[in-house]
Structure 1
Amino acid sequence: MTGEQERREQELTDRVVASFENTPGNPRLKYLMETLVKHVHAFVREVRLTKHEWNAWIDFLTRAGHITDDRRQEVVLMSDILGISMQTIAVNNEAYKDATEATAFGPFFVNDAPLIENGGDISGGAPGEPSWIEGSVRDTEGRPIPIARIEVWEADDEGLYDVQHDDGRVYGRAHLFSDNDGNYSFWGLTPTPYPIPSDGPVEQLLEAVGRSTYRAAHLHFMVSAEGYRTLVTHIFVDGDPQLDRGDSVFGVKDSLIKKFTHHEADEATPNGRALPEGQTWSHVRFDIVLAPGDD
C-alpha cells in the first residue's frame, strides 16, 4: 500500500471521528461512537475488506433482523457466538469475593413467566427426565437473602424452548422466591445438549467456519433482590460430552458445572412427589451467592 493510499484512508477515519465532536450533552455517547469508528475502520483496513465481503455482511445482518421477533432474538444469538455477550458480561460483573459467576443471557428469556411455589414444577408437561433442583440464596458474608426473585427457564428433552413453537404453549419456565431462610426448590427437567436454531444466519455462519452449533446442557437462572447485583447465570451438567466439544456461546465456567445425581424410579423423591411408574429422576444443588449492588 502506498503512502498516499494510507493517508487517504486515515484522513477518512479522522473525518468520521471528528463528526462526533459536537455531540450535545452526552460525552459517553461521543466516546462510544468515536471509539467504534476507530476500531471498525481499523478492521476494514487491516483485512482489506472487499465489496463482496461487505455485501455478504450486510445481507447477514439483514437476515438476522428479519428473523428476529418478540419470541426469537437472532441478533443476541449473533452476539453470543462471537463471544461479545460473554465479554460484556465479564466487564459488567467484576469478580467479588465468592459471588456466583455470571454467564450468557441467551435469546429465549420471556417476561411474565408463571409463578410457582417452592417445590413446584416448571416443566409444564414438556418431555424430559424430572429433576429436583434446590439450593440457597446468600450474600458474600453467608447471610441468607429471603424473598429473592428466581427466574428459571430451560429447553425440553428435544432441545426446544416453548417460544420455538407457534401455538403459544408455555413450559420449562417459571419464577419463584426464596423462603425466609433463603432457600428454594423446584422440579424441572434434567438438561440435555441442543443445537442453536438451524433456520437462521447464525447457524449457517457456525457451519461455514466449522464450529459446533450445540450448546452444552444447561438450566438458566436470573436472580434478583433489593440491594444486590442481579445475577444472570446457568448451571451445566457434569459429565456432559458437549463440555469437551465446546459450547457455541462460550458460556461454560468451571464453577457452574454441577453434579446431577441420577435416581432410579423406585427411590423416594425429596418432597414425596409421585412420579409415573418406571420414571427415573435426577437431583442437583445450586447455592447462589449474590454480590452487593452498585450504589
Structure 2
Amino acid sequence: MTMTTDFDSSTLTAAVLDSFEHTPDPRTKQILQSLTRHLHDFVRDIEPSIEEWGAAIDYLTATGQKCDDTRQEFILLSDVLGVSMLVETLNDAETPDATDATVLGPFHVVASPPRDAGDDVSAASDGPRCLVTGRVLTPAGEPIVGATVDVWQADTHGFYDVQQPGIQPLGNGRGLFTTDADGAFRFVSVVPSYYPIPTDGPVGALLNAAQRHPNRPAHIHFIVTAPGFEDLTTHIFVAGSPYLDSDAVFAVKQSLVTTFVTNTSAEDAAANGLQSPFEVADIDLVLQPSPASSASPES
C-alpha cells in the first residue's frame, strides 16, 4: 500500500498514529499514540501561527538551557502547570493507607549528608529553631525500623543551599536519617519560611505573563524509603503560613498541614541543644507495603 503524502489536518494525525502501530512495547505505543492525539488536538484548538509555534519551541529550548546540576527548570515548569501534582494525585490513589504524597520540587538535586538523630540540619542558617520528631509506620501503626528519611528545606530567607554557593555550604538544610527501633527520627532545623520559587528563567516569565504570584507556603520536604514498602515523597506545611491556599505549585494537602507548637521548657531545650523557647513539630509518616511484599504466598 502506498502512503499518501498529501495530508490534511485529520489525515496527518491518522498517519502519525499509524506510524507507531508496530511499536513493540505496548506501554510505549500507548504513550506515543495518546501524546500524538492530544498534541494534535491542542494544535487544532489554538491554531498557532508559525511565529507562535517558533516561540513555543524557543521557550522549551530556554527551559532546557536553564537546567544544570543544581536547578531543574523543567520540574519547575511541570510544578506550576499542576502536572507534577496531578501525577502525584493519580499515583496517591494507589496507596490509600499511606501518608499523602506531594511534589518533589526542583531542588532535590544533591545528595543529603548522613546525619545522627538530633543533628541540626541547618547549622549554617540563622533564625528561630525547631525540633522535628516523627515515626515511620506501617498502616497498622507498627514501627518501620531502619527506614531512610531524606530531609531538605530552604533557609529563613527562602533559599536552598544550591541557590547560594559561597553563602550556604552544600548540604545545609539537608539530612539523611535512619529510623531507630521505634521507627523514630528527629532533627533540629530553622523554622521554615514561605518563599518564592525562582523567577529568573522561563517559568518566571510564564508566571509574570499570567500575573500569578510565585510563592510557596512554608514547608519541609521528605522522601522516606524502606525495603518492602512504596517510597513516599511528601512535605509538611507549617500551619498558619501565608499561601497555604494559593501554593504556586498546587502541592498543599490539608492532611500535611502541621502545627508547630512552642515549647518553653528550658530543660527540653537543653536536652536538644536549643535555647528556650523553640518550636516542635511531631509527625507520623506512614508507608504503604509494596505489592510484592504484601502479596500472599502461592500455595
CA contact 2:149–2:222 (8 Å) conserved in 1: yes
Q: Supply the distance in 2 between the matched residues of 1:97 and 1:202 (Cα, whole angstroms).
A: 32
Q: What is the identity percentage for the equivalent residue pairs of Structure 1 and Structure 2? A: 41
Q: Supply the distance in 1 between the matched residues of 2:126 and 2:61 (Cα, whole angstroms).
A: 35
Q: Supply the distance in 2 between the matched residues of 1:97 and 1:57 (Cα, whole angstroms).
A: 38
Letter in 1 for 2:259: K
CA contact 1:193–1:216 (8 Å) conserved in 2: yes
CA contact 2:229–2:288 (8 Å) conserved in 1: yes
Is 2:224 aligned against 1:232? no
**Cα distance change of structure 1 residues 92 and 240 upon mapping to structure 2, 3 Å threshold:** same
Q: Supply the distance in 1 between the matched residues of 2:57 and 2:159 (Cα, whole angstroms).
A: 29
2:85 paired residue number: 86
Is 2:254 aligned against 1:257? no
The normalised TM-score by structure 2 is 0.90
CA contact 2:269–2:278 (8 Å) conserved in 1: no
1:293 paired residue number: 290
**Cα distance change of structure 1 residues 199 and 234 upon mapping to structure 2, 3 Å threshold:** same
Q: Supply the distance in 2 between the matched residues of 1:248 and 1:155 (Cα, whole angstroms).
A: 16
2:19 paired residue number: 19
Q: Supply the distance in 1 between the matched residues of 2:129 and 2:112 (Cα, whole angstroms).
A: 19
- Structure 1 gaps, min length 5: 1-6
> Following TM superposition, by how much is the alpha carbon of 1:139 offset from its aligned partner in structure 2, in angstroms?
0.4
1:196 paired residue number: 197
Alignment of 1:108-119 (within 5 A): 108-119=107-118
Query: CA offsets per residue over residues 150-209 of structure 1, 9 Å max, x none?
Result: 000000011000011233633000100110111111111211110011211101111110
> Following TM superposition, by how much is the alpha carbon of 1:95 offset from its aligned partner in structure 2, in angstroms?
4.9
Is 2:283 aligned against 1:281? no
Alignment of 1:1-295 (within 5 A): 8-23=8-23, 25-167=24-166, 169-244=170-245, 246-263=246-263, 267-269=266-268, 272-275=271-274, 280-295=277-292
> Following TM superposition, by how much is the alpha carbon of 1:70 offset from its aligned partner in structure 2, in angstroms?
1.1
Secondary structure of residue in 2 paired with 1:219: strand
CA contact 2:120–2:189 (8 Å) conserved in 1: yes
CA contact 1:127–1:158 (8 Å) conserved in 2: no
Q: Supply the distance in 2 between the matched residues of 1:155 and 1:78 (Cα, whole angstroms).
A: 19
Secondary structure of residue in 1 paired with 2:204: helix
> Following TM superposition, by how much is the alpha carbon of 1:262 offset from its aligned partner in structure 2, in angstroms?
2.7
CA contact 2:71–2:109 (8 Å) conserved in 1: no
Letter in 2 for 1:194: Y
Q: Supply the distance in 1 between the matched residues of 2:198 and 2:85 (Cα, whole angstroms).
A: 19
Q: Supply the distance in 2 between the matched residues of 1:104 and 1:46 (Cα, whole angstroms).
A: 30
Query: CA offsets per residue over residues 99-153 of structure 1, 9 Å max, x none?
Result: 1000000010134311111111111311232110001111001111011000000
Q: CA RMSD in A?
A: 1.7
Q: Supply the distance in 2 between the matched residues of 1:142 and 1:66 (Cα, whole angstroms).
A: 46
Secondary structure of residue in 1 paired with 2:176: strand
The normalised TM-score by structure 1 is 0.91
Q: Supply the distance in 2 between the matched residues of 1:146 and 1:219 (Cα, whole angstroms).
A: 22
Secondary structure of residue in 2 paired with 1:133: strand
Q: Supply the distance in 1 between the matched residues of 2:106 and 2:96 (Cα, whole angstroms).
A: 29
Q: Supply the distance in 2 between the matched residues of 1:204 and 1:157 (Cα, whole angstroms).
A: 25
Q: Which runs of 4+ in 1 moved over 4 A?
A: none
The count of residues paired between Structure 1 and Structure 2 equals: 284
- Structure 2 gaps, min length 5: 1-6, 293-299
2:295 paired residue number: none
Letter in 1 for 2:288: A
Q: Supply the distance in 2 between the matched residues of 1:241 and 1:112 (Cα, whole angstroms).
A: 29
CA contact 2:269–2:277 (8 Å) conserved in 1: no
Secondary structure of residue in 1 paired with 2:103: coil
CA contact 2:218–2:241 (8 Å) conserved in 1: yes
